[in-house]
Structure 1
Amino acid sequence: MHKLIYILLLLATITVTSQNYTLEKVNEVTIEADTFIGVDTFNALYHIKDDVLYKDDINDGYQFTALQLGAITSVDILNPLKISVFYEATNTAVILDNTLSEITRINFSAIDDFRNISHVATNGDRRLWVFNTDLQQLEIFDWNTDQITTQFPPMPVNATTLATNFNFAWVVNEIGLFHYNNYGSFLSKTALQDITLISQSKGAVILLSQGKLHYKPKESNDFIALDTPDFTIKQLSLNGEILYLYIGQKLAAFRLKLPKKP
């Protein structure tokens, strides 16, 4: 495995445009995974098999399991030194280091200000983006103090998925895609429907909407429809200009070829 690494709110609405962006396939490997998570900034690959989280880089392999917490809902590898693993069944997040050893565990049912959480992602060194289903809103949670530091405007419906980095969050629900900054401000809404998968890298965003890929460069406000490969995409992950598509036992890497400026 180690060698695989190498080989409501309508204040602003984003439009969807079409340009000649292309995907150039650069590699394909076989992995046995229930869920492909992604490739981090150090080119380590993460996946889940039988509710065990695996990390593989060129030199070593690591794994983490906490079966008493239930099935793994999500894993965020934005900060490879503080990886967040979320278990929705037990309303618990676990923070892991770069060897997948446990740093701390947050039970959202046990804190003073009880809340039910559906999504967790890394926000900062000791902070998490969390989606509070009781209030139907995004929040930033400080796991060092067990306090909410930022609350966002309530949404008409709960989130279905999200993508985040240290400064921004893109929240998907049945209405569309909502974009926020780290200070609790709403930035824009995209009216794409049936978004099932989403990933971001350095502010660029890619998503799967109605079975088609759409890409937004960091410097743009518009999503661009891509020519989508003719296979079922189970998971996707964007890392710089490389897009990883997991199609079940096969992990394909594509280079995003952007249009040349005239």
Structure 2
Amino acid sequence: MKFKFTVLFLSLTFSILSQEKIKTTFIDSLVLENKTVYEINEHNIYYSVNNVFYKKTKDKEFNYTNITLGNLTTVDLYNPLQTVLFYKDFNTVILLDNQLNENHKIEGNKLENIVAFSCIGLAIQNQIWFYDSLSQKIGLYNFKTDTYKFISTPLTSKITLHTTDYNYFYWIDEENICYTISIFGKIKTIGKLPVYDTIQILNEENYVIKKEKQLYLFKKKENKLFEISISKNSFDKFYYKNGILSIFTADKVINYKILLP
């Protein structure tokens, strides 16, 4: 199968619009207490402590643990009704319902042809995005039929960061170039991104970037960086979803309401 690569040749000079800062509004903060927090929204908090995954609502707390699978590597909360946990040590993907009951277990080492799962994310139509580090191909696993298919040829550069939504798998390579592939296997080169310390891909057009002690929104089409105003100058990481920007410091998480242009 052959794929057509579309390359967007854009200027590699990025400008910062200091006069057009993006304002934020403080919502609340939460003491972490040794928690690894994955997401906070208006209704729920998702976190882990000592390798146990928790969902805390206003009224209840649910948890999932599986000591046989080693350390929890990544959590995908794109759809809160279908949480995806990845345990890299045992090459296993777990799907949970909204009360953290296990409803699917995918073991890469037990497939007829072993798949070394990596870069896991939820896709459309009962499927899971994955990157197989053995074949170096991107694929889709159908957890209803327990079948999978590869939709790309082997990648020629290493994936340094990825994100997914229902229809697309995005990744950044070692040359700081961003790509996307659709569920139909069409690969597109988005182009070169600014230098960053940390980055979150929101979609093909928008990226939240941490550079030194500052956050920016990078709009790829405009090729511009917009500074995001936050009160904290020192923080470990950040996460944006549905208008909420979470800033993680050493001992707490601070939530802001933010409207991106």
Normalised by the shorter chain, which TM-score bucket? 0.7 to 0.9
State how far apart, in whole Å, the 2-side matches of 1:91 and 1:246 are.
28
Partner amino acid, structure 2, of 1:29:
L
Partner of residue 155, structure 2: 155
Matched, 1:230 2:226: no
Partner of residue 12, structure 1: 8
Residue 184 (structure 1) shift: 1.9
Which runs of no fewer than 5 residues in structure 1 stay unpaired?
A: 1-8
Partner of residue 30, structure 1: 31
Partner of residue 127, structure 2: 127
State how far apart, in whole Å, the 2-side matches of 1:147 and 1:210 are.
44
Cα deviations by residue, 1:179-221 (Å, 9 ceiling, x for unpaired): 333322223133334554425389854344566534356x956
| Conserved? CA contact 1:160–1:174, under 8 Å | yes
Matches within 5 A, 1:242-257: 242-257=244-259
Matches within 5 A, 1:184-199: 184-187=185-188, 188-193=190-195, 196-198=198-200
Task: Mark the CA change 1:90 to 1:253 in structure 2 (over 3 Å): closer, same or farther.
Answer: same
Partner of residue 78, structure 1: 78
Partner amino acid, structure 1, of 2:244:
I
| Conserved? CA contact 2:81–2:97, under 8 Å | yes
| Conserved? CA contact 1:128–1:143, under 8 Å | yes
Residue 52 (structure 1) shift: 0.9
Task: Mark the CA change 1:56 to 1:150 in structure 2 (over 3 Å): closer, same or farther.
Answer: same
Cα deviations by residue, 1:98-144 (Å, 9 ceiling, x for unpaired): 00110010001111121112221111242111111112232222122
Matches within 5 A, 1:79-228: 79-176=79-176, 177-187=178-188, 188-193=190-195, 196-198=198-200, 200=202, 204-208=206-210, 212-216=214-218, 220=221, 222=223, 224-227=225-228
TM-score by length of structure 1 reads 0.81
Cα deviations by residue, 1:12-61 (Å, 9 ceiling, x for unpaired): 25664433232424122212244221136x73111121111111122211
Q: Percent identity?
A: 18
Larger Rg belongs to: 2
- The number of residues matched between the two structures is 248
Cα deviations by residue, 1:225-261 (Å, 9 ceiling, x for unpaired): 4347411223x222222111222321111232446xx
TM-score by length of structure 2 reads 0.81
State how far apart, in whole Å, the 2-side matches of 1:184 and 1:194 are.
28
Task: Mark the CA change 1:43 to 1:157 in structure 2 (over 3 Å): closer, same or farther.
Answer: farther
Task: Mark the CA change 1:18 to 1:81 in structure 2 (over 3 Å): closer, same or farther.
Answer: same
| Conserved? CA contact 2:71–2:89, under 8 Å | yes
Partner amino acid, structure 1, of 2:105:
R
Task: Mark the CA change 1:232 to 1:156 in structure 2 (over 3 Å): closer, same or farther.
Answer: farther
Which runs of no fewer than 5 residues in structure 2 stay unpaired?
A: none
State how far apart, in whole Å, the 2-side matches of 1:225 and 1:198 are.
15
Which segment is superposed worse, 11-20 or 158-167? 11-20
- RMSD of equivalent CA atoms: 2.9
Which segment is superposed worse, 25-34 or 199-208? 199-208
Task: Mark the CA change 1:100 to 1:153 in structure 2 (over 3 Å): closer, same or farther.
Answer: same
